[in-house]
Amino acid sequence: MEFSEHVQHLAPEGAYAVLAKAQALEAEGRRIIHLEIGQPDEPTFPNIVEAGVRAIHDGYTRYTPSAGLPALRRAIAEDAGRRRGVEFLPSQVVVGPGAKPALFFPTLAMVRPQNVDHPYQDEVLYPDPGFPTYRAMIEVAGGLPVPVPLREDFNFAFDLQAFDRLVSERTRLVILNSPANPTGGVLSLAALQHIAEAAQEFGFWVLTDEIYSRLVYESPAPSILSLPGMAERTILCDGFSKTYAMTGWRLGFGIMPASLAERVDLLLTHSVGCTAAFTQMAGLEALLGPQEQAEAVVAEYRRRRDVLVTGLNAIPGVSCRLPSGAFYAFPNISSTRRSSDWLADYLLTEAGVAVLPGTAFGRYGEGYLRLCFANSLENIQLALEAISASLRKIQS
């Protein structure tokens, strides 16, 4: 069967492939510790659940405007603006079923393929290792993906020298992710200023994925949106999944200039239609309700992070930087002289610990593994013991 060139290069996300294999082993009676899937382990906060259930009973089960309920768009504009020191209007907010539409649809709206009216493919710079959807959406839009390496010696920030070599007049869009999946790295204000200066010089747009912006451990993650001149050329992607343990509710949003928001609204209209009304009401409660539980979860993640990273660094052949945000550790395993894919598969089958190879996030992820510490301290300790014992077998 022949497929459109827009989908020929699509591949599964590595996390789902590892999860499927791990579940197959569990079906055989094996105990598996899941450190592969990036989602909170705690249930959605009770006040949010109650708001969602109440909304169903109150009749919030019908179509809504494609861009979202006005009350939610207003609350998102106020909350996101306050946290970033920027004033947003509700007309700039587009609500979607998850955060991915706020990645995919602006890219579709902005990135141009080569054709009779446009002499070259628009180029899109994106982080590598990075979220696999970035490359997928660039290719679907007909753009040219240009990976920018994230360097461990720069705390997994952009290699700015490589960035300067890669950016050009053909650059249409630069994708940022801070705090980052899979590295946990946070872009410094100086790095953001460097990128912002290039945006002004070359005239490209920035898509900043800040889905982990509330999951930071030392200091807040700066946003490029807060820099002078960037509000009119920046698209913010964020959502409720990570902060409020709402992954299955499918609720995210994008904030962008109003003219682009109108185009993205039309893409939503002709694809998903709208986001479930009761889910949006739950999101409204998440923003306007008490925030203490979200803050407590961050403190718990910090404890788990510290235990996991300390334990990884105690294992011969493994070194791991302390992530500043998100809930991932990204240990360097190059000293084992095994590929990331081989070692991830070995740890699953031998140690019963499901992790992801760094190459699931791009070619610059070779030599690393991703471990999600949104799991109990007990399971993290058991995983460390199993990993250490399994690695001793291949190093002896």
Per-residue pLDDT of 191-226, as tens digits, reads: 999 999 999 999 999 999 999 999 999 999 999 999
Return residue ranges of the chain for CATH 3.40.640.10. 46-288
pTM for the whole thing? 0.96
Return residue ranges of the chain for CATH 3.90.1150.10. 14-44+292-395
- pLDDT tens, residue by residue, 104-113: 999 999 999 9
Q: What number is the average pLDDT over the span 63-71?
A: 98
Secondary structure (DSSP) of 30-52: ---EE-SS-S-SSPPPHHHHHHH
Percent residues over pLDDT 70 in the chain: 100
- Ramachandran category for residue 88: left, alpha or beta (phi over 0 → left; psi -120 to 50 → alpha): beta
* Closest by Cα among 36, 32, 31 to 19: 36
- pLDDT tens, residue by residue, 30-46: 999 999 999 999 999 99
Q: What number is the average pLDDT over the span 322-346?
A: 97
* pLDDT value at residue 279: 98
In the CATH scheme, what is the code of domain 46-288?
3.40.640.10
Give the bridge partners for 237, in sequence order: 209, 254
Q: CA 45: distance to chain centroid?
A: 21
310 falls in which pLDDT band (50, 70, 90)? very high
What is the rounded distance in angstroms from the CA atom of residue 55 to the CA atom of residue 179? 32
No. of H helices and E strands in the chain? 12, 13
Residue 5 has pLDDT above 90, yes or no: no
The vertex-272 CA angle with 267 and 275, nearest 5°, equals 110
Instruction: For the chain, give the mean pLDDT.
Output: 96
Strands across the sheet with 369-372, in order?
A: 328-329, 369-372, 356-357
Q: What number is the average pLDDT over the span 303-320?
A: 97
- Options 3.40.50.720, 3.90.1150.10, 3.30.70.360, 3.40.50.300; CATH for 14-44+292-395 is 3.90.1150.10
Residue 344 has pLDDT above 70, yes or no: yes
Q: What number is the average pLDDT over the span 110-139?
A: 94
* Closest by Cα among 319, 332, 330 to 370: 330
What is the rounded distance in angstroms from the CA atom of residue 323 to the CA atom of residue 330? 8
- pLDDT tens, residue by residue, 347-371: 999 999 999 999 999 999 999 999 9
Q: CA 220: distance to chain centroid?
A: 17
12 falls in which pLDDT band (50, 70, 90)? confident
* pLDDT value at residue 11: 86
Residue 259 has pLDDT above 80, yes or no: yes
* pLDDT value at residue 396: 67
Counting every residue, how long is the chain? 396
